[in-house]
Amino acid sequence: MTTFPFAFAMAGGEGRTEILWMMLAVFGSAKLLAELFERLGLPGIAGEILAGILIGPSLLGWVAPGEVIRTMAELGVMFLLFRVGLEVEVAELTKLGGTALIVGVLGVVVPFATGWGLFQLLGRPPLESIFVGAALTATSVGITAQVLASKGLLHRPAARIILGAAVIDDVLALLILGAASSFATGTVNLMQLGLTTAFAVVFVVLVARWGRATVRTVMPRLESRLQVGEAQFSLAMVLLFGLAVLSAKAGVAAIIGAFLAGLALSGTLPRRIHDLAQGVTELLVPFFLASIGLQFSLAAFANWSTFLLALLLVPAAVLSKLIGCGLGASHLGREVAMRVGLGMIPRGEFCMVVARAGLTLHAISPATYRMIVFMAVAAAMLTPPLLKVAFRGVLAPPPETEDVFRIG
Amino acid sequence: MTTFPFAFAMAGGEGRTEILWMMLAVFGSAKLLAELFERLGLPGIAGEILAGILIGPSLLGWVAPGEVIRTMAELGVMFLLFRVGLEVEVAELTKLGGTALIVGVLGVVVPFATGWGLFQLLGRPPLESIFVGAALTATSVGITAQVLASKGLLHRPAARIILGAAVIDDVLALLILGAASSFATGTVNLMQLGLTTAFAVVFVVLVARWGRATVRTVMPRLESRLQVGEAQFSLAMVLLFGLAVLSAKAGVAAIIGAFLAGLALSGTLPRRIHDLAQGVTELLVPFFLASIGLQFSLAAFANWSTFLLALLLVPAAVLSKLIGCGLGASHLGREVAMRVGLGMIPRGEFCMVVARAGLTLHAISPATYRMIVFMAVAAAMLTPPLLKVAFRGVLAPPPETEDVFRIG
């Protein structure tokens, strides 16, 4: 599965050593390329994604995307959204909630119509067009969150709209995946679809609305009675994992739960607990970024027609989000609209889930599956440089590393 | 494999949600039982091990020890030893190096002789006796390190002897496993055995001796030139993973590499980087402790003869280390000797490696394998309360949680 540059140790720990080596390879190469990119004036985050492409199965073959790396990646993006939630106030999000709602809805409708329309025009089967449309819908907010957080931009209006819209987008995407799967299996159950969505909405609204008040009442009491070491950190972690699991059960992404956990705890945790959580984030985010690159496969370029279609799909994915979400925020001016639109471009985990579901249900071909994956990797790579340009005006000269996450 | 208390989400993420649930179960139950134990005046660490027994396959069956949990556990103990290394000075270790050497050697010889002798007296096959002896040799310093670190005892002479002896112990155990495997396969290659050990010794001595000086020269130069965010943390992580992989390749445990990385960096990293690393440690150490409990199997009590033998093996394991290591430190007084002896009791990963190797080579029976695992879990559970008693004199009233790792 993985080529390995050293001889194995004798002590029966081969598999274990290999995992350590993979972790070193992922973390080390991600940071090395981030450094290289920064020196070239490019965003380090794009370098970390590129590291995954380089060390992945298509090129060097050092690391294959296995269970452990995937879990580290998921924990990485969960901790990232948790940290982002810690820095944001619910009030800040609801103030721009109307705009976020329009951005979220248009950011799902326009990409769906674009993907569906493109494939219909190309004469593909209707079911495949539906799945391609669905795959274009959900924004994966991790990439954008990392850019905004590392540049200290989380408190810009555009950032708050993006975060709110990403939550709405995720709930809508759940609805769309459910509908697409119903079409594919021929069993449209509107009742169940409605219930699933309603449950997800109720869960998100309840936690967002009363989570913080509950935490503010319960946390200090609990904390003062606990005798175990680092009680605050432990409570925060239990809330993080608990809401992530509940979110996944409610049908929305685990990272939405992580974000809600951060929101609920924002303003109640001392600086030191922020630093402890930040340590986990710093360690794991490179795994999240590199694992996007690990998905990349040269098979997308197997033949000319696939290649050309992939090259059509990338601008369709980029432009449809940019236009849909940009329109939603256009009343706040062209600059904010651009930032919001660009920030919503990345696709990720959900897009892979739709593609895999389509493949399993024989709704899309393996070639289309690979194209969708290629599109997701390309959109992820494009976002950091585009955001860098869009936020040029407000970007101070290179921020102090110590100030990351320190704003507010 | 795992019973699961909730219905699954529809969105195709079953396996992923299950892993999040397992993480919540491990972390949450470990902290809950730690709290319970602390309130009962018992060491929280023993509670975290017990949590693993409770939620493991033998009892509640919530969590099975799979690839991901095992990796989190290994990272946990690696980060623990890294943090311990950060707090210790190489000079402190070498000052008591002579004692550590005697403690390390006697702590391998006496347990080996005891395990071998016990099984020979019981009329077991000679090869099985050799493997049981070998399984008793290596101390797993993680448990002791966690007790000492969390109570702020890392700078006591006993703690420094334990840390030094654990490194020596690990190299000797490598030699013994190699010898036992040679006996089992009938191909004794003294040359190769000698070379392997020499390589391990040279690696450890080189890194311990010149690691810090190298870091002190290279780190500031490198750091000042790097543009990537959190450069110091990234460099520290690369050193940690790098030395862990190299250690595993050199034949010693990955945690020895992590400890050496910590030693090399001690005194050069600012407080904030310590906190970042501490966050990872706080998150992952419960996985290390609980995963010891997850190994526990009721099958060790399958019949009376196995059960009685397991009950003989536990005191043999405890007393042989206590006496062997205690004797090695006896010239420093009864109190220090007791602390050193008790601190060296825990067995862990290495003991399981020997048992598995013995099983694979048909040198030991499955019943003996289960007994050895039972012994390791029991020794791990016994150590924290014994250490608590041994260090009673120097333990201040319950230390402030903020002071964990803050001494020195």
Tell me which DSSP letter residue A340 carries: H
Residues 6+ apart with CB under 8 A from A341: A321, A322, A323, A324, A325, A326, A329
For range B336-342, the mean pLDDT: 95
- Residue of higher predicted confidence among B1 and A217: A217
Q: To probe the interface with B, which of A283, A284, A350, A400 has the most B CB atoms within 10 Å?
A: A283
Tens of pLDDT, residue by residue over B178-235, are 888 887 777 777 788 888 888 888 888 888 888 888 988 888 888 888 887 788 999 9
pLDDT at B407 > cutoff 80: no
CB contact under 8 A, A233 and B282: yes
Tell me which DSSP letter residue B397 carries: S
> How close is the nearest chain A Cα to the Cα of B81, in Å?
15
> Which pLDDT does position A10 carry in this prediction?
33
> Which pLDDT does position A14 carry in this prediction?
47
For range B19-30, the mean pLDDT: 94
Domains and CATH numbers, chain A: 23-391 (1.20.1530.20)
Q: How confident is the model at residue B402 (pLDDT cuts 50, 70, 90)?
A: very low
Write the burial class of residue A191 (CB in 10 Å: 0-12 exposed, 13-18 middle, 19+ buried). Answer: exposed
pLDDT at A403 > cutoff 50: no
For range B260-267, the mean pLDDT: 91
> Which pLDDT does position B14 carry in this prediction?
47
For range B340-354, the mean pLDDT: 88
Which chain A residue is nearest to residue B277, measuring alpha carbons?
Answer: A279
For range A260-279, the mean pLDDT: 91
pTM: 0.86
Q: What token pair was written down for A34?
A: 């981030």
Contact list in A for residue B251 (CB cut-off 8 A) is 9-11
Residues 6+ apart with CB under 8 A from A122: A309
Q: Compute φ and ψ for A145, nearest 5 degrees.
A: -60, -40
Contact list in A for residue B234 (CB cut-off 8 A) is 27, 31, 282
Q: Which amino acid is residue B247, in one-letter code?
A: S
B201/A contact by beta carbon, under 8 A: no
| Residue carrying the six token digits 């020997």 | B354
Q: State how far the alpha carbon of A145 is from the alpha carbons of A42, A388, B89, in Å.
A: 17, 13, 40
> Which pLDDT does position B9 carry in this prediction?
31
> Which pLDDT does position A7 carry in this prediction?
28
Show which of residues 160-199 on chain A sit within 8 Å of chain B, judged by CB atoms: 174, 177-178, 181, 196
- Average the pLDDT over each of A47-51, A205-209, A287-291, B342-346 and give the range with the smallest value: A205-209
Q: What mean pLDDT, rounded, does chain A reach? A: 86
pLDDT at A184 > cutoff 90: no
Between A9, A278, A401, which is nearest B279 by CB? A278
> How close is the nearest chain A Cα to the Cα of B149, in Å?
12
User: What burial letters (b/e) apply to B149-164, b meaning 16+ CB within 10 Å?
Assistant: bbbbbbebbbbbbbbb
- Residue of higher predicted confidence among B18 and A305: B18
Please give the distance of CA A152 from its chain centroid, rounded to a whole number: 18
- Residue of higher predicted confidence among B338 and B396: B338
Which chain B residue is nearest to residue A28, measuring alpha carbons?
Answer: B238
> Which of A252, A168, A11 lies closest to B180 in space, CA to CA?
A11
CB contact under 8 A, B251 and A11: yes
pLDDT at A253 > cutoff 90: no
Tens of pLDDT, residue by residue over B148-159, are 998 889 989 999
Show which of residues 262-301 on chain A sit within 8 Å of chain B, judged by CB atoms: 272, 275-280, 282-283
> Which pLDDT does position A395 carry in this prediction?
67
pLDDT at B288 > cutoff 80: yes
Q: What is the dihedral of CA B248, B253, B255, B259, to 10 degrees?
A: -90
CB contact under 8 A, B238 and A356: no
For range A284-299, the mean pLDDT: 89
Crossing angle for the helix pair B349-360 and B157-185, to the nearest 10 degrees: 10
Q: How confident is the model at residue A261 (pLDDT cuts 50, 70, 90)?
A: very high
- Percent of chain A with pLDDT strictly greater than 90: 46
A218-224: list long-range contacts, CB under 8 Å, 24+ apart.
A219/A265, A219/A268, A220/A268
- Residue of higher predicted confidence among A227 and A135: A135
User: What burial letters (b/e) apply to B62-77, b meaning 16+ CB within 10 Å?
Assistant: bbebbebbbbbbbbbb
Q: What token pair was written down for B37?
A: 């134990």
Q: Compute φ and ψ for B42, nearest 5 degrees.
A: -100, 160
Which chain B residue is nearest to residue A147, measuring alpha carbons?
Answer: B229
Q: How confident is the model at residue B273 (pLDDT cuts 50, 70, 90)?
A: very high
Contact list in A for residue B82 (CB cut-off 8 A) is none
> Which pLDDT does position A260 carry in this prediction?
92
User: Which H or E run contains A347?
Assistant: none
- Average the pLDDT over each of A363-367, B227-231, B290-294, B328-332 and give the range with the smallest value: B227-231
Contact list in B for residue A237 (CB cut-off 8 A) is 27, 283
Length of chain A, in residues: 408
> Which of B297, B388, B361 lies closest to B40 in space, CA to CA?
B388
Contact list in A for residue B275 (CB cut-off 8 A) is 272, 275-276, 279
Tens of pLDDT, residue by residue over A351-360, are 888 888 888 8
Contact list in B for residue A181 (CB cut-off 8 A) is 10
> Which of B118, B131, B117, B153 lies closest to B340 in space, CA to CA?
B153
| Residue carrying the six token digits 């920064």 | A38
For range A343-367, the mean pLDDT: 87
Tens of pLDDT, residue by residue over B2-16, are 322 222 233 334 467
A60/B contact by beta carbon, under 8 A: no
Write the burial class of residue B120 (CB in 10 Å: 0-12 exposed, 13-18 middle, 19+ buried). Answer: middle
Between B13, B23, B35, which is nearest A227 by CB? B35
